[in-house]
Structure 1
Amino acid sequence: MIILTGESLTLKQMNDLLFHNQKVKASEKSMEAVQKSREAVERIVSEGKVVYGITTGFGKFSDVLIPKEHVQDLQLNLIRSHACGVGEPFPENVAKAMVLLRANALLKGFSGIRPLVIEKLLELVNRDIIPVIPQQGSLGASGDLAPLSHLALVLIGEGEVFYKGQKMDSLEAFQQEGILPVILEAKEGLALINGTQAMTAMGVVGYLEAEQLAQESELIASMTIEGLNGIIDAFAEEVHVARGYQQQVDTAARIRRYLSDSLLTTQQGELRVQDAYSLRCIPQVHGATWQALDYVKEKLEIEMNAATDNPLIFEDGEKVISGGNFHGQPIAFAMDFMKIAVAEMANISERRTERLINPQLNDLPPFLSPEPGLQSGAMIMQYVAAALVSENKTLAHPASVDSIPSSANQEDHVSMGTIASRHAYQIIQNTRKVLAIELICAMQAVEYRGVEKMASQTKKFYEKGREWVPTINKDRIFSKDIEKAAEGLKVMEMSQILQTLSM
């Protein structure tokens, strides 16, 4: 059971929740803070004070005073009018993460929402009632208004959900689970939608997949080194310590460990003096990707525990301050950084694939074909990798450098962080397929060299890969192989494979 406090949620806990069906509950202390904040909102309404989003309209309508008797209508109209997202829905695990992250932010006690609403959010998480949330339509300030409005629709019984493998109206799922929808009170609609949880949830799922992919990429690269009789000297510890980047040092150490007892690697001068950069510079390039991922992890774990709505309530309601914590710029930058880092992981992988199949660059059968000429072998797989790498380059254009004014120029600078996170996720999916292609080619190459000569650790990974994709002994529909290898990489429990490899 994960206890939410609004302060301490980690990416590891998110992984447990999203991929291992862990349940969640709110801490009692946090709920007490939520209740105090709620009491402050109720005093503001009863006293008729002018406070943005509580007794006024929104955005450019912030100067329009709303009478007390229309407070509920104000919140309902807000959710309905702002639920105008378009496009394909977010993946279910992203939408589930969004619900959890919104609840965690509200538990900080700065938002003036009733504990009941947070309890409903956590009920959705624990019962796997997942809002259907369109991906497109957020500017990333004032937070993720359109996506989070679709989340809020579910709470009031007007949205759609994924439930038990089906898409249905939220009320139907609620009836099956015995749940009643919520009637939103003062500020609650605004508190639910004014935040960065769409971009952050997409970023969390993307990061978790990217982290696993980065680990797998080193195993795949190690197998490629064996397939090409790569020079192991380039991974010597002193070389990387001399540069000084810890992630580079760590990457080189893992490659050395994976290949420690290989009979397929060579020493410098044995076959050649130096390898091409795509082999020799694996620690430098992959290490730099790890640097970027470390940055992304830090920013995500801050944002996962951040108060990102507006206004925020302090000192038991004595201070209600309109600010801009909903602005997604920190996550926008992080997502753009992740896009570039993962795209480069694909870039160097595709170059290694080229070295595996190009007869001008190795002594293996051309294109790893079982009958060169009659059968094309892996020739067009490299085309696919090249196409995906090129597509990544267009997706890697930074979304965060763009902005467009909205709400009659009241909201005149926005982050585009949600676009950045969505593009990062697509790059990760593309990169997994690029690495799947390298894996297929590397497995074929080591077979020509002699599987019995492989390092014990890479051999175990090779055996896992052969569960997904059989040996290429004749041409076949390789699209299926790429998809199977990519799916295998996605669902593989990296902790288990690494534990196996260390034995």
Structure 2
Amino acid sequence: MIELTGHSLTIEAARKIIYDKEAVHIPQHVWGKVEKSRKAVDAIVAQKKVVYGINTGFGKFSDVLIDAEHVEELQINLIRSHACGVGDPFPEEVSRSMLLLRLNALLKGFSGVRKEVLELLAELLNKRIHPVVPQQGSLGASGDLAPLSHMALVLAGEGEVLYQGKQMETAEAFHTAGLEPVTLQAKEGLALINGTQAMTAMGLVNYIEAESVALQADYIASMTLEGLRGIIDAFDEDIHLARGYKEQTEVAERIRGILNGSYLVTHQGELRVQDAYSLRCIPQVHGASLQVLSYVKEKLEIEMNAATDNPLIFDEGRKVLSGGNFHGQPIAFAMDFLKVGMAELANISERRIERLVNPQLNDLPPFLSPMPGLQSGAMIMQYCAASLVSENKTLAHPASVDSIPSSANQEDHVSMGTIASRHAHQIIQNVRRVLAIELICAMEAAAYRGIEKMADTTRRFYFHGRNAVPAITKDRVFSKDIEAAAALLKKTNMKRFEKNHNDTKGEIVS
């Protein structure tokens, strides 16, 4: 069980909640600040003070005062009218992440939300009831209004959810799970939707996937080095310490470890003096992508524990301040940066694929074909990789440089951070497929050279890959192989593999 306080959520803890479905627990000491914040909202309503979002309209309607008897109606109207999301729903793990992040933010006690609302959010997580949230429709400032409204509808017993493997009406899921909806009171609707939790939830899932993909890129590139009889000297520690980038040095060290004991790698001057950049510069390029991941992780872990709604309540209600913490610019930049960093992993991977299949660049069978000419082998797999790489270049265009005014120009600058996070997710899926193609080609090349000559680690990875993709003995529908290899990579826990790479059983834990 993971404890939530509003201040201490890490990516590793979130990973356990999102993917391992660990339950959450809210410690007793957290409720004091939450309840004081709520009392402040109740006092504002009772005293008829004018405070944005509590007894006023929203956006351009912020100057419209709302009578006390209509405050509850104001909140549900807000949620229903703002639930304008369109398109395919977010993946279920993103929806679960959204619940987690909104709960954690509201537990900080700056938002004036009742304990009952937060307890229901925790129940949704613990009972694995996940809102169906359309992906498109957020500007990324006034927060993720449209997607978070679809999440908030569920708390009111409306909308749709995924529960027990089925999509159903929220009312049906609540009945089955023994839950009761809440009636949203003053400020609660606004507090639920005025934040960055859709883009950050997508960003969190992106980071978790990207971290795994980046590690797999090192392993697959190592097998390619064996298939092409690459020069190991380029990974010597002194070269990388001379430049000074920690991540570059780590990649070089990892590849030296992976290839330890290989009889397929060469030394400079044996076959050639230098390799092409796509082989020689793996630490420099992969390492730079790891630097991007470090930046993204830092921003995500700040945002995961941030109060991002408006207004915020301080000093037990003595200060209620309107601000702009809902603006998604930090996450928009982080996701755009992630897009570039991940796209580069595919760019260099595709160039390694070319070197594996092009008979003018190696001494392997042309296009790794079992019968060159009669059978095309991996020829069109490289086309597919090139197409995915080109698509990534389009998706990598920064969303954060765009802005369109909304709410009658009251909200005149927005982040488009949710678009950035969605495009980053698409890029990561494309990168994984490019790496899957490289893995297929590298396995063929390594088998041609001699599996018995491979390093222990790459040989284990080779046999793991063969669980999904058999050797190419004749032409077949390679689309299925690419998807099977990508699926294998998605479920392979490379961190766990790294810790257990000396396991004599020769298994990779998924």
**Hey, what does 1:105 align to over in structure 2?**
105
Q: CA deviation at 1:29?
A: 1.5
Q: Counterpart of 1:118 in structure 2: which amino acid?
A: L
Q: Counterpart of 1:51 in structure 2: which amino acid?
A: V
**Hey, what does 1:196 align to over in structure 2?**
196
Rounded to whole Å, the distance in 2 between the matches of 1:233 and 1:28 is 57
Q: How does 1:358-437 map to 2 (within 5 A)?
A: 358-437=358-437
Q: How does 1:14-413 map to 2 (within 5 A)?
A: 14-413=14-413
Deviations for 1:424-464, whole angstroms, at most 9, x for unmatched residues? 00000000000000000000000000000000111111110
Q: CA deviation at 1:495?
A: 2.7
Secondary structure in structure 1 of the residue aligned to 2:181: coil
Q: Name the count of aligned residue pairs.
A: 503
Q: CA deviation at 1:496?
A: 2.7
Rounded to whole Å, the distance in 2 between the matches of 1:78 and 1:502 is 57
Larger mean Cα displacement after TM superposition, 44-53 or 19-28: 19-28
Secondary structure in structure 2 of the residue aligned to 1:325: coil
Q: Counterpart of 1:33 in structure 2: which amino acid?
A: K
Q: CA deviation at 1:352?
A: 0.2
Secondary structure in structure 1 of the residue aligned to 2:467: helix
Q: Counterpart of 1:259 in structure 2: which amino acid?
A: L
Rounded to whole Å, the distance in 1 between the matches of 2:247 and 2:230 is 21
Secondary structure in structure 2 of the residue aligned to 1:222: helix
Q: CA deviation at 1:2?
A: 0.5
**Hey, what does 1:486 align to over in structure 2?**
486
Deviations for 1:76-95, whole angstroms, at most 9, x for unmatched residues? 10000000100000000000
Secondary structure in structure 1 of the residue aligned to 2:500: helix
**Hey, what does 2:463 align to over in structure 1?**
463
Q: Counterpart of 2:81 in structure 1: which amino acid?
A: S
Rounded to whole Å, the distance in 1 between the matches of 2:476 and 2:78 is 55
**Hey, what does 2:507 align to over in structure 1?**
none
Secondary structure in structure 2 of the residue aligned to 1:360: coil
1:441 is aligned to 2:441: yes
**Hey, what does 2:508 align to over in structure 1?**
none
Deviations for 1:305-349, whole angstroms, at most 9, x for unmatched residues? 000000000000000000000000000000000000000000000
Rounded to whole Å, the distance in 2 between the matches of 1:371 and 1:205 is 43
Rounded to whole Å, the distance in 2 between the matches of 1:502 and 1:345 is 27
Q: Counterpart of 2:489 in structure 1: which amino acid?
A: L
Rounded to whole Å, the distance in 2 between the matches of 1:498 and 1:475 is 34
Q: CA deviation at 1:39?
A: 0.4
Q: Counterpart of 2:136 in structure 1: which amino acid?
A: Q
Rounded to whole Å, the distance in 1 between the matches of 2:366 and 2:9 is 51
Secondary structure in structure 1 of the residue aligned to 2:88: strand
Secondary structure in structure 2 of the residue aligned to 1:501: coil
Q: Counterpart of 2:158 in structure 1: which amino acid?
A: E
Rounded to whole Å, the distance in 2 between the matches of 1:86 and 1:226 is 47
Rounded to whole Å, the distance in 2 between the matches of 1:37 and 1:338 is 36
Q: CA deviation at 1:498?
A: 1.5
% of aligned pairs identical?
Answer: 70
Q: Taking structure 1 as the reference length, what is the TM-score of the superposition?
A: 0.99
Q: CA deviation at 1:55?
A: 0.9
Q: CA deviation at 1:21?
A: 1.6
Q: CA deviation at 1:158?
A: 1.1
Structure 1 unaligned segments of length 5 or more: list them.
Answer: none
Rounded to whole Å, the distance in 2 between the matches of 1:325 and 1:427 is 28
4+ runs of 1 displaced by more than 3 Å?
none
Structure 2 unaligned segments of length 5 or more: list them.
Answer: 504-510
Rounded to whole Å, the distance in 2 between the matches of 1:495 and 1:362 is 32
Q: Counterpart of 2:220 in structure 1: which amino acid?
A: I
Q: CA deviation at 1:27?
A: 2.0
Q: Taking structure 2 as the reference length, what is the TM-score of the superposition?
A: 0.98
Q: CA deviation at 1:120?
A: 0.4
Q: CA deviation at 1:26?
A: 1.4
Rounded to whole Å, the distance in 1 between the matches of 2:25 and 2:391 is 41
**Hey, what does 2:495 align to over in structure 1?**
495
Rounded to whole Å, the distance in 2 between the matches of 1:351 and 1:73 is 59
Larger mean Cα displacement after TM superposition, 311-320 or 21-30: 21-30
Q: CA deviation at 1:14?
A: 1.1
Q: Counterpart of 2:169 in structure 1: which amino acid?
A: D
Q: Counterpart of 1:104 in structure 2: which amino acid?
A: N
